[in-house]
Amino acid sequence: MSRSSEETFGVRRLSEEWRDALQVHFATLSEEDRYLRFGSHCRSEVMHAYVAHIDFERSIVLGCFDTDAVLRGIAHLNPGPLEWELGLSVDPVCRGQGLGTRLIRRALKDARLAGAPRLMMHCLAENHALLRIVTSLGAQVVIRDGSAEGIILCASSRKEFSKDARQRASRGATAEAVKKTAP
Ligand SMILES: CC(C)(COP(=O)(O)OP(=O)(O)OC[C@H]1O[C@@H](n2cnc3c(N)ncnc32)[C@H](O)[C@@H]1OP(=O)(O)O)[C@@H](O)C(=O)NCCC(=O)NCCS
């Protein structure tokens, strides 16, 4: 992300009072975005219920804001005993400016600080934007059954990403090329 984008968009942890703003954010997502985010063509009511049930104490919700304090991107970290799961979305009008990358970087940092053993994201194999981001960050990517669904394992969040993975990413590795087993 460019220096100017970093100055334009700030990331902070969200609390209960942001629930309505989250609803507004999710309403900006197209049907295809919802499919990529939730893995199914979920209806508005389902998304609404998802936001209504977010536990801001147990999970970590990060928001990316523009200079007018409008919420433009969200990362939701859900803790589990073996791994934490990360869900991500960016307002369509703000894509390609590094918000997604920034949110994932911050999510990795927060997960590591909270002692998460591993951070993972489910993503569909056709989600090229997400795959681009995570491979550029050096994450290990596993494509199950050759296509339909990919699982991105963001390495051990304690160790950050390996030099080896970074080198592969810099060579422009695709999900298939980075096929690996879980750490
Ligand atoms: C995935 C998502 C969060 C990315 O947000 P973003 O703010 O655009 O991300 P960034 O700007 O940090 O990076 C996007 C990268 O993908 C690349 N990209 C975008 N569309 C692409 C495509 N169709 N094919 C390949 N790369 C693509 C961009 O060029 C950029 O890479 P670069 O920085 O090397 O140029 C956003 O597209 C989104 O909200 N999608 C819908 C929900 C979703 O898929 N969530 C993830 C599953 S939980």
Q: What are the pLDDT digits (tens) for 65-86?
A: 999 999 999 999 999 988 899 9
pLDDT at 148 over 60: no
- Euclidean distance between CA atoms 67 and 91, whole angstroms: 15
28 DSSP 8-state letter: T
Residues ≥6 apart with Cβ < 8 Å to 33 = 89, 92
Residue 36's nearest CA partner among 130, 141, 135, 137 is 130
What is the 92 CA–ligand 1 centroid distance (Å)?
10
- In the chain, what are the domain boundaries? 3-170
Cβ–ligand 1 distance for 135 under 6 Å, the answer: no
Residue-wise pLDDT tens digits, 90-105: 999 999 999 999 999 9
Cβ–ligand 1 distance for 133 under 6 Å, the answer: yes
- Confidence tier at 125 by pLDDT (50, 70, 90): confident
Is-contact 30 92, C-beta < 8 A?
Answer: yes
pLDDT at 159 over 90: no
6 versus 121: the higher-pLDDT residue is 121
pLDDT at 7: 67
pLDDT at 5: 61
pLDDT at 112: 85
pLDDT at 62 over 80: yes
- Euclidean distance between CA atoms 134 and 166, whole angstroms: 10
Whether CATH 2.40.50.100 fits 3-170: no
Cβ–ligand 1 distance for 137 under 6 Å, the answer: no
